[in-house]
Amino acid sequence: MTPLVDVVLVLLIIFMVVTPALAQNGLELPKSARPDSEGKLTEPIVTQLMPDGSILLENAVTPAAELETRLAKLHAASPSRRLSVKADAHAGYGQVRTVQLAAQRAGYATVSLAVAKKE
């Protein structure tokens, strides 16, 4: 049995030495002051608060009473997707807070608020 253990240990050492060299592969990536996290690469779930007060979840009109249930189903299906809220500039704070609370109860740890760039 001892020779087999020796072979396995030698192979382990070889892999430990070679793996870092393979990871670098001579590629120099560009530098960024504020890189996005990997989780942001997926398409977010978009919730929109329309000027008339209606709520759109993934472009489908959703009553406020059903919002938490639908968000919970989406979160259960894909927990890595983040939630983004696009609210009309004239939407009240209470409407935005209602969506945030529903998202929190549905299991989302954070909610992104979409804004337009000021020119």
Nearest to 96 by CA among 56, 49, 64, 54: 49
DSSP letter string over 13-65? HHHHHHHHHHHHTT--PPP-SSPPPGGGGSPPEEEEE-TTS-EEETTEE--HH
* Helix (H) or strand (E) segment spanning residue 84: strand 83-87
As its CATH architecture, domain 38-113 has 2-Layer Sandwich (3.30)
pTM: 0.62
pLDDT tens-digit series, residues 80-110: 888 988 887 777 888 889 999 999 999 998 8
Nearest to 57 by CA among 89, 98, 27: 98
For the chain, the domains span 38-113
Residue range 20-42: mean pLDDT, rounded: 52
